[in-house]
Structure 1
Amino acid sequence: MTVRQLVAAVLALSLSACATLSPHEADRAAAIAASARPTTLDCERIDACAQPSPLRELAGRAFSESSPGQPRHYAVILDSGTDAMLARVNLIRSATTAIDLQTYIFDEDDAGRLVLDELLAAARRGVRVRLLMDQLSALQNVETLAALAGAHVNFSVRLYNPVLRRARISYPQYVLAAACCWRQLNQRMHTKLLLVDGAIGITGGRNYQDTYYDWDDEYNFRDRDLLVAGPVARDMAVDFETFWTDPRSVPPARLVDVGHALLEDGVPVLAPHGFDHPARAEAMRDDAADPQLVRERLVEPAIAVGEVRYISDTPEKHNGEDPGQLAVASDSLRGLIESAHRQVLLQTPYLVLSKPAQEMFRQLHDRPGAPRVIVSTNSLAATDAFIAYALSYKYKRRYLREFGFEIYEYKPFPADAPVDLSATGAVVPDYEPVQERARTRPPDRDSVLRTARYRQPLRSEYGATRYLRRQANEPVPLKRAGVRVGMHAKSLVIDDRVGVVGTHNFDPRGDHYNTESAVVIEDPAFAAALEASIRRDIAPGNSWVIAPRDKAPVLWGLEYSLAKASEYLPVFDLWPVRYATSYEFVPGPTCPGPLPPDHPRFRECHRPVGDFPEVNLALKGLPTRLFTAFGAGLAPIL
């Protein structure tokens, strides 16, 4: 391409990206969508033909047992992806008056379309449905958004903070937006909430995409949601209303691309989704209609608690020049951590701490009788964001020495995870428990590597050219094939008394750019249940433990000093040796269970397995070391 052609292409892109929709055109497009919305209902009953639900009954019990000053709530920890989907479908069908759904990602894959179909069915039977999505990660097709704009009089859609006044932007337009509108581009709605009839809500880490519900055949998240029934739902409703009525929340018909599509072609018919696994979707629909199954899997594990707090950043966080002043969620979480006396149990997928968080943990560690801080996070092999991991890798010495962290990194093939591998639709290799494997031999995945299903993906995955197109949210290549699992849960347990489940990654983005939310429950039984869930994730079969590497036989002090000095450089951090590495527990007669890294016999029961275990040897260290060397400046926006 010549320079003239390149300039012409850039100019054409700029003109396209900056195309406008006049107020008159926006009014016409909105009118077209409104006039196309059907008003007929599939049900004439006052309860909108809601499906009886044992989950919905939890809300009735909670409100009937509550009194002024003494609220009653029921909380259900949703660890399993299939249970999380089951709860959502069942609750949507139980709605009698209103459904409010707020999310960061809403994809058009099997999981996303199943939920969307259920929402539309609820609207057609008489339930008011409002769907609020962050613009950057909303439904992928302009045609889908145009169809939803006119789907039904009871169904409304809005997109939060649309960049370039468009519903969808291409990667070149993203680059243009970064040049013209950097602050707006980074101000995202990371809040996630499903609220039914203003009485029962679900919030936590999950978006609407196959990977969050154990439905992807390559990579799934080990995530966590919390279902809460009771009076706190009123606070959730107020918070949703604040977002819904904010000027940043825009109906798609008033955006350039969807508006022009409506003006040119009217409201299209929403095409039926061709499910990749139709039997799986149908099985989920059947399960959601089975009250006994819902009762056994979701209602019986419910924990009765008293007061529940819902903390949330509002859109005001995106006003002004210093968003940190309005970071309600960040301030509340820091306050909880600072209240710890005995232990902080923190789970985050991306261990990249903001400067205020680093200072808080430093001061916490310097206290007399400092609380123990245990962190569950991703390994490089498990993460979906290798650049974020690179910065975590850069500061491991600081985390261990200055903050006193005890870090456990999640394995890509955990031996005991709340992930339903059979639901993924993939060929699942046999996997021996870690204790048996340690006594016998490494697992044999050769049969998997030779299958036609994996050969082509692996050739692409192991090729060096893959690094030329690696994205920030793409897992790195591994030594072996299989359905990979990555940590996405965001939770916190303080001492034995407070449990928190939310959307905040405890990172700079959550402090400064994203709106975040969390449920806080001060109750020993709930805190114990949440702690047990996190401790399952840090068990030896599921995580490696991070600890200082063995000291070099000579010049160890000089090596340590050089590495420490290099760590504090914002760029050119090229020192090749890091303070810490990964360790695997090796059971034996004298080692019946794992030991913490500060135990004097730790090395007798754990063996070092390298900085990046399980990662493909070909180029495993290159991207991580490059971003460690040059990417520190990216920390605030990762």
Structure 2
Amino acid sequence: MSITRVLCLALLSSLFAGCATHLPQHELPSSHVLPADESSPLVRYVNDRLVDPNDWSAFNPLYEGNDALAARLYLIDQARYGIDLQTYIYADDTTGKLVAAHLLQAADRGVRVRLLIDDIGNSLSDTDLGSLDWHPNIDVRLFNPLQLRHLRMLSKVFEFGRINYRMHNKLLLVDGVAMITGGRNVGDEYYALSPMDFQDIDIIGLGPIAQEAGASFDLFWNHDLAQPVSKILPRSNDQALAALREQLLAARREAAQGTLMEAVAGSSFIQAFQDGRLAWYNGPATWLYDPPAKADAHSDLAGEPFLSRSLARHTGEIEHELLIMSAYLVPGERGQVALTHLLDRGVRVAVLTNSLASTDVLAVHSGYAPYRKPLLAAGMELWELRPLAAQNERVNAFVSDSLASLHAKKFIFDRHTVFIGSLNLDPRSVSLNTEAGVLIEHPGMAEYMGSLFERWTDNDYAWQVVLDEQGDLQWLADDVAWQREPGTGVARRLITWMIGWLPIESQL
């Protein structure tokens, strides 16, 4: 989200807060996740690996960008019945074209595809959306769409009261038994394919958790905010679909000639998955989510923090330690009180978030900055990601001189339970966006995530933020101490300070 967009949102929220336009009711029959049977290779795979297929699910983390993309494409290619894809951002780039090409190929072999995209985060043209939807096995819906399709900025102004609520969920569900969720959208920057490399961790889940996630997808899909493109966009035709098919095939051939598909094809995760060598974490889990009514400006439930309340109940039960990875950290007054209460009880609270140098949204950093001193004074431990985090070891294998930015959203409770999803610790996630994720009760998984937290807060990855003897902020790494935001220039610091004077915290 750019500075300009955030400032515009702040201005529009004051000028047009009451302008909540209505979307038409689509009045289509309800659609639901398709049941799969033993003819699906994924069903057979899942049944062979679940310890308790009635109650427990199986999980494995997706850490590397090439593994995360390879896992998505592999699951899509394995589908025999249904694919449901829900995303906040769908970019018209290499990743977006590859995913679309594989979805189209699945539809050609008879798989039903449901594609639900938040319209604000959508970069596909209306022509391409309509062409995909023209396929008899593909249905495309836009969540809370702009009504003035060719005047998007004007639509954002006059429909602000409605479109300020967004669907931030990320979910891929295949044959009703396998799912991927986390913080990654569909776009190059989430898979180490662009100069800005978003550091994230997804989770692949098998079994009952996929059914729970599918039920939430159905709620969103059947809600009036999920508008069928066949109802709101010009009618497509066979020629348009054929043209899109050629474009996607060309993009796929081009990608196959580069290092991208070589890395995807060589994914150690996929090889282990196929060979049955992948170690799965089996245990109880719960799918937590905000209902679509949270994003309905005309609903009595608009803005209700369903998911954050659920997590707050778990937070209140913590005895020893809370580890948080949050790309955007603006706890607000209530969040500050909750964290301080944990610290007063003797709970260790440690947080990793973006630094001013690594953040992609300066306005969010301006909202976060005032909370650092009081939380540090209360005893919280804080790290901020370095923009060249362990550059030579991990991040971007395909684009040179890439910058790392934290995009993970993880909460680790007492090294016993972990939440992985789309929720940031900020007002927008709590009150304006719908969010979703999985709460996994498994000490082994939680310990693994804890080890990643420790790795990402090492000197190679992050600066530790502390208070010096005078109570001022200090950044530490590599036996060096900085007295101002490291890795930044005067202009970046000045712009952030100026934004901090604006009354926009509720929009961050």
TM-score, normalised to structure 2's length?
Answer: 0.85
Alignment correspondent of 1:634 = 504
Alpha carbons of 1:225 and 1:169: their partners in 2 closer, same or farther (altered >3 Å)?
A: farther
Tell me the number of residue pairs that the alignment of Structure 1 and Structure 2 aligns: 476
What is the correspondence of 1:171-570 to structure 2 with a 5 Å cutoff?
171-174=153-156, 176-177=157-158, 181-216=159-194, 218-255=195-232, 258-259=233-234, 262=236, 269-270=243-244, 272-273=247-248, 275=251, 278-279=254-255, 294-296=270-272, 300-319=277-296, 323=301, 326-367=304-345, 370-402=346-378, 404-415=379-390, 419-424=394-399, 426=400, 482-551=401-470
The one-letter code of the counterpart of 1:381 is A
Q: Runs of 5+ in structure 1 lacking a partner?
A: 1-19, 31-45, 427-481, 552-559, 561-578, 587-606
Looking at structure 2, the residues matched to 401 and 351 of structure 1 have their Cα atoms a distance apart, in angstroms, of: 17
Alignment correspondent of 1:457 = none
Alpha carbons of 1:398 and 1:330: their partners in 2 closer, same or farther (altered >3 Å)?
A: same
The one-letter code of the counterpart of 1:345 is L
From 621, 631, 637, give the equivalent of 2:493. Answer: 621
Q: Runs of 5+ in structure 2 lacking a partner?
A: 1-21, 29-36
Residue 477 of structure 2 corresponds to residue 584 of structure 1: yes
From 136, 141, 145, give the equivalent of 1:162. Answer: 145
The one-letter code of the counterpart of 1:162 is P
SS of 1:620's equivalent in the other structure is helix
Contact 1:496 1:527 in 2 (8 A): yes
Contact 2:97 2:252 in 1 (8 A): no
Contact 1:80 1:418 in 2 (8 A): no
1:397 Cα deviation after fit: 1.1
Alignment correspondent of 2:89 = 105
Looking at structure 1, the residues matched to 81 and 258 of structure 2 have their Cα atoms a distance apart, in angstroms, of: 25
The one-letter code of the counterpart of 1:546 is V
Alignment correspondent of 2:15 = none
Looking at structure 2, the residues matched to 136 and 112 of structure 1 have their Cα atoms a distance apart, in angstroms, of: 16
Contact 1:143 1:268 in 2 (8 A): no
Looking at structure 2, the residues matched to 310 and 634 of structure 1 have their Cα atoms a distance apart, in angstroms, of: 31
TM-score, normalised to structure 1's length?
Answer: 0.69
The one-letter code of the counterpart of 2:429 is G
Alpha carbons of 1:200 and 1:548: their partners in 2 closer, same or farther (altered >3 Å)?
A: same
1:362 Cα deviation after fit: 2.4
What is the correspondence of 1:114-193 to structure 2 with a 5 Å cutoff?
114-150=98-134, 152-163=135-146, 165-166=147-148, 170-174=152-156, 176-177=157-158, 181-193=159-171
1:330 Cα deviation after fit: 0.6
Residue 62 of structure 2 corresponds to residue 78 of structure 1: yes
Contact 1:62 1:73 in 2 (8 A): no
Looking at structure 1, the residues matched to 459 and 361 of structure 2 have their Cα atoms a distance apart, in angstroms, of: 23
Superposition RMSD in Å: 3.2
Looking at structure 2, the residues matched to 281 and 129 of structure 1 have their Cα atoms a distance apart, in angstroms, of: 28
1:611 Cα deviation after fit: 2.3
Percent identity of paired positions between Structure 1 and Structure 2: 28
1:497 Cα deviation after fit: 0.8
Looking at structure 2, the residues matched to 233 and 22 of structure 1 have their Cα atoms a distance apart, in angstroms, of: 31
User: For residues 465-489 of structure 1, what are the alpha-carbon distances to aligned partners after superposition, in whole Å with 9 as ceiling and x for unaligned?
Assistant: xxxxxxxxxxxxxxxxx21010000
SS of 1:191's equivalent in the other structure is coil
Contact 2:90 2:123 in 1 (8 A): yes
Contact 1:200 1:233 in 2 (8 A): yes
SS of 2:434's equivalent in the other structure is coil
Looking at structure 2, the residues matched to 291 and 371 of structure 1 have their Cα atoms a distance apart, in angstroms, of: 39
User: Which structure's CA Rg is the greater one?
Assistant: 1
Contact 2:60 2:281 in 1 (8 A): no
The one-letter code of the counterpart of 1:532 is S
Looking at structure 1, the residues matched to 455 and 335 of structure 2 have their Cα atoms a distance apart, in angstroms, of: 26
Residue 38 of structure 2 corresponds to residue 61 of structure 1: no
